[in-house]
Amino acid sequence: MIRHLLSAADLDLATATTLLDSAEQMFAIQHREVKKLPTLRGRTVVNLFFEDSTRTRSSFEIAGKWLSADVINISAKGSSVSKGESLRDTALTVAAMGVDALVVRHASSGAVARITEWVQCPVINAGDGTHEHPTQALLDAFSLRQRLGELRGRHVVIVGDLTHSRVARSNVLLLATLGARVTLVAPPTLMPSGVASWKCDRSWDLDDVLCGRAFGDVDAVMMLRVQRERMSGGYFPTEREYAIGYGLSPRRLALLPEHAPVLHPGPMNRGLEISSAAADSARSIVLDQVKAGVAVRMSVLYHLLAGDQQPAPVLEEAVR
């Protein structure tokens, strides 16, 4: 098992499958009256977030607490970072307190990897700049497995602001590892640099892809948030034109096969990349993704912190 989780590229097929299978077990406790396992009792996990977050930080906190770990949240606002302390000094200070794992989100790509050079404890990447977000890719794969079953040979379409999306990069890597086909769809201005080397197909025509003319039948579509806060130039003429060209409208929703779910990592810009009709439809598994986030992050924490000491049979007994 890996020591850190920095990138979806860190996960080979066996490791990714193990994490997803364990998440299936963790998912079951969400329906229990007492949502606690003793697995990480006595361990301390610090969520060190230099960027705002609701879903990721909350789900890591819940995941740690349901595994009986002590969880501490530290944000840049209100910490010594706001006084000018460097990333290195902050990481070393927190690690010196004897913590067992760091969950880090940072606005700069590669910052989380640098932290692993300074600390001894496991580090989990909760999103670094426009680079990667591996646990989001895991929870997306988990949600797809619940809806579609085996992912090998499935065709997943990812649409939207690819240039600024760490979610897209991690999903392409992980889905390829799991044997799925991926097609990226975006206007030319939002296709990331170097995308030609990625293990995926690419298109600028969303209608052609969704109706199956371009790359075959679609098994799932993931809409990405337009990250206006990261945009410093004119990536598209107007929001209305973007919605017309690349938004998941009711008409486009009807192009999908009946079995194909709609995903979105959130938060959603309703009326821009996704219509309310699509977001609230029976095809939408957005809330399933949120539920999956807790189970997947429980699995990651378990395998990084207790996997060697508590083999799978012990975990199975605890879940039962």
For residue 110, give the 3-state DSSP assignment: coil
Q: Profile the chain (320 residues) by mean pLDDT over runs of 10 residues.
A: 94 97 93 90 96 92 97 81 83 96 96 97 96 97 97 97 94 98 94 92 96 93 85 73 94 96 94 95 96 97 80 55
Q: Is the peptide bond before 267 cis (omega within 30 degrees of 0)?
A: yes
Q: Which of 285, 262, 296, 294 lies closest to 16, judged by CA?
A: 296
134-288 fold:
Rossmann fold (3.40.50)
Say what the pLDDT of residue 150 is: 95
Tokens of 19: 């994490």
Q: Which residues are annotated as a binding site for carbamoyl phosphate?
A: 55-56, 105, 133, 136, 266-267
Q: Do the domains 8-133+290-319 and 134-288 sit in the same CATH topology, yes or no?
A: yes
Say what the pLDDT of residue 57 is: 95
Q: 77 Cβ partners below 8 Å, 6+ apart?
A: none
Q: Which of 91, 116, 102, 92 lies closest to 64, judged by CA?
A: 102
Largest distance between two CA atoms of the chain: 57
CA distances from 78 to 19, 54, 75, 283 (A): 34, 17, 7, 41
8-133+290-319 belongs to CATH 1.10.3720.10: no
Say what the pLDDT of residue 313 is: 44
Q: Which of 172, 195, 173, 265 lies closest to 224, judged by CA?
A: 265
For residue 125, give the 3-state DSSP assignment: strand
Q: Lay out the sheet containing 70-75: strands in order across.
A: 70-75, 44-49, 101-106, 123-128
315 backbone dihedrals φ, ψ, rounded to 5°: -65, -45
Say what the pLDDT of residue 236 is: 79
Q: Which residues are annotated as a binding site?
A: 55-56, 83, 105, 133, 136, 166, 225, 266-267
Tokens of 106: 């940072």
Amino acid of residue 89: D
Amino acid of residue 49: F
Q: Quote the DSSP letter at residue 274.
A: B
N- to C-terminal Cα separation, the chain = 24
Q: Which residues are annotated as a binding site for L-aspartate?
A: 83, 166, 225
119 backbone dihedrals φ, ψ, rounded to 5°: -120, 160
Amino acid of residue 8: A
Say what the pLDDT of residue 306 is: 87
Q: How far apart are CA 20 and CA 299, in angstroms?
A: 8
Say what the pLDDT of residue 229 is: 66
Q: How far apart are CA 268 and CA 119, in angstroms?
A: 35
Say what the pLDDT of residue 85 is: 86
Q: 220: which strand partners?
A: 156
The burial of 178, by beta-carbon neighbours within 10 Å (0-12 exposed, 13-18 middle, 19 or more buried), is given as buried
Sequence spans of domains, the chain: 8-133+290-319, 134-288
